[in-house]
Amino acid sequence: MKADIKSMNQEELGGFLISLGEKPFRAKQLYPWLHKKHAESFEEMTDISNKLKEKLINSCEFTVLKQVSVQQSRQDGTRKYLFALPDGNMVESVLMRYKHGNSVCISSQAGCRMGCRFCASTLDGLVRNLTPSEMLDQVYRIWRDIGERVSHVVVMGMGEPLDNYENLLKFIRLLSDENGSSISQRNLTVSTCGIVPNMRKLAEERLQITLALSLHGATQEKRQALMPIAKKYEIHQVVEACKYYFQKTGRRITFEYNLLGGENDKDEDARQLGALISGMNCHVNLIPVNPIRERDYVQPDKDTVLNFKNKLEKYGINVTIRREMGRDIDGACGQLRKRFSERQGEG
């Protein structure tokens, strides 16, 4: 396989150029074209000689995702993209516009093997991990598409990022590199279903990113009914790993809790959740579930959501209710891709 040039850091790029018989300082020229100006082809790179361009075209893979479709919300400007990877697999990414800046939600895998009951991305299993360049390019294509800086990135799209650990780490380092797009690690959030050994490993990497933990149930029993991975990593182990992450990084944990009507939205659930995490330096994000066609989960009504929030706040916990973005264009994560592949199958 050819070398994937957009997955290389500046040092690796230098080494690669040497292997082509070039001077390593050319990396200083090439790297910003890839990671700062988000070039779509070598042709664009005006200060690179034709001879070098030709060598590069012959010797490496230049990963650029193809925009298959984009839908824009009339309510809040949210844009939902479907991108084709070089091998034709599809992933979804979302742009959300906030007062504090443009935030992009990216996918880390094509499909997913975690099997969470309420999630559309996992219905057809895992196809493959994304490379660092494929994760980066979701951000880069959107950046170019809107002609504005992307300031925040969340890895909350399709896939389990900690199931693609090495590529994720490379992605984080490239994205936050000051010679590249220079997105602050403090503006980067990685969401996990709770793969404990990799959460602990991540805590040791000297990063400043936010870790979000998908909790969804406040007891072992409830959680494992929704998330098969919970059978492997018990709820208290997961919470311990979150505490360890805070200890090591000083970064406050975000707990995500999908509210599923009648399943995990009762007073008792709020009490159990409060008891589980009270005293931790954390934040809870309540997310009324986005129902998918393949399952019967429903959103709780507004009063139930507010009541749940109030109960939780009694434990001194900081709670927000996720503002629904792009409700009019929606379909939950993974639905766009699934619909598309179903249409292809029909066609």
Which one of 60, 105, 193, 333 is the catalytic residue? Answer: 333
Q: How many helices and strands (H and E) does the chain possess?
A: 11, 14
Q: Which of 154, 70, 62 is nearest to 106 (CA)?
A: 154
In the complex with ligand SAH, the residue whose CB is nearer, 5 or 260, is 260
* Smallest distance from ligand SAH to CB 193, Å: 4
The active-site residue, picked from 22, 60, 92, 193, is 92
DSSP for 255-292? Answer: EEEEE-TTTS-SHHHHHHHHHHHTTSSEEEEEEE----
Between 73 and 214, CB nearer to ligand SAH: 214
Q: Is 178 assigned a catalytic role?
A: no
- CA distance linking residue 167 with residue 161, whole number of Å: 9
Find the shortest distance in angstroms from Cβ 332 to ligand SAH: 4
Residue whose CB is less far from ligand SAH, 55 or 283:
283
Report the nearest approach of ligand SAH to the CB of residue 113 (Å).
Answer: 10
Known active-site residue 333: yes
Its sign, for the CA torsion 170, 176, 177, 181, is: positive
Is the CB of 28 or the CB of 327 nearer to ligand SAH?
A: 327
Q: How many CB atoms lie within 10 A of CB 308?
A: 25
The rounded distance, in Å, linking the Cα atoms of 132 and 169 is 8
In the complex, what is the shortest distance from the CB of residue 137 to ligand SAH, in angstroms, rounded to a whole number?
19
Give contact residues for ligand SAH (rule: CB under 6 A): 116, 118-119, 156, 160, 191-193, 214, 256, 258, 287, 289-290, 292, 332-333
Q: List, by residue number, the catalytic residues.
A: 92, 333
